[in-house]
Structure 1
Amino acid sequence: MTEAQHTQSLSFPRLVSVIIPARNAARMLPGQLEALSRQKYQGPWEVIVVDNGSTDGTAELARRWTGKVPRLEVISVARPGVNYARNAGAAASHGDFLAFCDADDVAAPNWLDAMVAAARTADVVGGHLELDALNTPRVRFTHSMLPPDRLPVIMDFLPYAVGANMGVRADVLTALGGFDPRYAHGGGDDVEFSLRAQLSSYSIAFAPDAVVHYRLRARSWSMAKQQFKHGRADIQLVCDFRAHGMPAEPVSVAAAEWWRLVRRLPDLVSRDRLLNWIRDAAYSAGRVAGNLRYRVWRPRPGVWPRRPT
């Protein structure tokens, strides 16, 4: 690194924009805003809450936090979809570094400090999702976990930053054209952006000290819906990135997985096993739906960690 680059790195960022997509989040959003009000970061920063078509008064509740978190701005985007909300938040921001978190999670006090430190040497940053604080042991048992010491890797291909704890330089986001709105309704939205950034020669890094306490889906129906969307989105990712080396395998592997699900039916004597079966079946059903929609062979099961639900 040259002396000029070193000086520029130390002066970055000029302003941090924390962007929170929020849809019907009136019950959970106060916890995240309270956590942001306790951040130890000493540099200038702003908070942008993007109300994504809520019907529960999310925007009105968020505005009550004016003066409690730095430079709060609340905007509304009628079209639902997390990537529409992220892009709208980025368009309304003034910072040269954008940090994204979710409305129903809780950022640790050092979160923003650690994100900024990592962003001085990387274009895209992903932090650590901590699962113990907001989830019961049973909920954690019935969900697939992400690695605690590195970014997850999808399909033995490339790592990605999870959207609930992600940062990106504003100029990089602009150069890439923002988040892909086709991935708008659950699953793949963060992965697609991370892959596209790396294939465009931008760097990505893990920030282990940028901790967000992550809330898993506790209800079986909610978990199943999200797993279905993840399975469908993973096929969309194969469709979009197969030409760049993302692997896909024959449908015979999918058939074998369905057979394993059938063979597990007699073992569903406990609630935990039943919830695990529902999770896996919903994810496999999503892959079938994705194959029917995008007409590609689905990826091999088990070679990448599912995003937490």
Structure 2
Amino acid sequence: MTASVVIAYHRGLPDLEVQLNALAQQDHPGAFEVIVSDNEGSAELRRHVDDHPLRDRLALRWVDSSDIAGTSHARNVGTRCAAHDFIVYCDQDDAVHPGWLRAMVTAGRDADLVGGPLESETLNDPIVAAWRALPDPERPVVLGRFLPMTFGCNLGVRREVFDAVGGWDESYPTAGSDVEFCWRVQVSGHRFAFAPEAMVAYRYRTGVRETFAQAVDYGREEARVAEQFGAPGRQWWWFPIHAGVVVALCPVWPWAWSRRRRGEWSWVTGNLVGRVWGSLRHRVIYL
């Protein structure tokens, strides 16, 4: 099976180079192309892609998706420009492992939607890598006690399925879009598969404020998706446990916090704030 790799781009240099170099190391035996969908509308990026030394190796193309802001729109534009019938998404600031595309394509032969795991050691220093735990790499994530999902930075879908469900929901510009897309594909009757060998090195935010804001967004939008699909949501007893972790990680003297402690606390606290915010806003219990 051939494949089109779509990367949603916004102010992603120089990290994009790491991802393009990783894609050039793929051991996938079939043909594939790489589409950089530019949500910024950057003349610099277009020149960069047009003159890139890996342009022929990757069948690298630039497409403009700057008319509407958001990762979902960039992925939609990139997908609709794709030459192949199996679409695989990765992010501008990550790095796919050498066997990633081969594993995704292999799993896609018997499924309509494919996901893979993430790891945090390759692209993050040890302190930042300890800020948050990633899911078990051997099985997919199940959110809201509903259906499995995969992250948008490691997702494959058949083009006919993408078209059948109407693509990515652009009312979710960033956070929550992958959960919504995965659930919508599955409730429409399509098959999901998980490929443990399709590993992606995932890059964390390195600022405490950025980490907190990202966690809030994730928690809030997950609650929104749960309400949209009528998912059972999280069990109520997780709330006191989560709140207890927030208290336990919070030192008495903030100015004595280590960088690791600040990052851990920002992530778990931001996620709790987002869940509470989303639960109140969307009138669903997702704590």
Question: Does residue 1:136 correspond to 2:122, yes or no?
Answer: no
Contact 1:24-1:56 within 8 A present in 2 as well: no
Match of 2:227 in 1: 239
For 2:99, the equivalent position in structure 1 comes to 110
Give the letter for the 2:177 counterpart. D
Residues 144-176 of structure 1: per-residue CA shift (max 9 Å, x gap): 311111111112221101111110011011101
Contact 1:238–1:248 under 8 Å retained in 2: no
CA shift in 2, pair 1:53/1:214, >3 Å: same
Deviations 1:60-79 (A, max 9, x none): 32332263433221011112
Q: What amino acid maps onto 2:7 in structure 1?
A: I
Cα gap change, 1:279 to 1:60, in 2 (>3 Å): same
Pick from 49, 58, 65: which aligns with 2:36? 49
2:72 alignment partner in structure 1: 83
**3-state DSSP class of the match of 2:28?**
coil
Alignment of 1:192-271 (within 5 A): 192-242=180-230, 245-247=231-233, 258=243, 261-262=246-247, 265-267=250-252, 269-271=256-258
Give the superposition deviation at 1:106. Answer: 1.0
Match of 1:288 in 2: 276
CA displacement 1:196-248 (0-9 Å, x = unmatched): 11111111111111121111122212111111110110111122011xx4326
In 2, Cα distance between the equivalents of 1:226 and 1:17? 28
Aligned pairs for 1:21-40 within 5 A = 21-40=8-27
2:83 aligned to which of 94, 100, 109: 94
How many angstroms apart in 2 are the aligned matches of 1:30 and 1:39? 15
Which runs of 4 or more aligned residues in structure 1 lie more than 6 Å from their structure 2 counterparts after TM superposition?
A: none
How far the C-alpha of 1:260 sits from its partner, in A, is 6.3
State how far apart, in whole Å, the 2-side matches of 1:23 and 1:225 are.
18
Residues of 2 paired with 1:247 and 1:224: CA distance?
Answer: 22
In 1, the alpha carbon distance for the partners of 2:16 and 2:172 equals 23
Quote the sequence identity (%): 34
- Write the distance in 1 (CA, Å) between the matches of 2:39 and 2:15: 15
Structure 1 unaligned spans of 5+: 1-12, 301-309
Whether 2:267 is the aligned partner of 1:279: answer yes
Q: Is the 2:114–2:193 Cα contact (8 Å) retained in structure 1? A: yes
Deviations 1:107-160 (A, max 9, x none): 122211111111001111101212211112211211131111111111222110
Structure 2 partner of 1:150: 139
Gaps of 5+ in 2: none
Residue pair 1:128, 1:210 contacting (<8 A) in 2 also: yes
Shift of 1:58: 3.1
TM-score by length of 2: 0.90
What amino acid is the match of 1:231? G
Using the TM superposition, give the Cα deviation of residue 56 of structure 1 relative to its aligned residue in structure 2, in angstroms: 8.6
Aligned AA for 2:192?
Answer: I
Q: In the aligned structure 2, how far is the partner of 1:70 from the partner of 1:260?
A: 45
Are the equivalent residues in 2 in contact too, given 1:23–1:58 (CA < 8 A)?
no
Alpha-carbon contact 1:29-1:62 (below 8 Å) kept: no
Deviation, 1:55, is: 5.5
Q: How big is the alpha-carbon RMSD for the aligned residues of Structure 1 and Structure 2?
A: 2.3
Q: What amino acid is the match of 2:47?
A: E
Take 2:285 and 2:128, find their aligned partners in 1: how far apart are those partners? 28
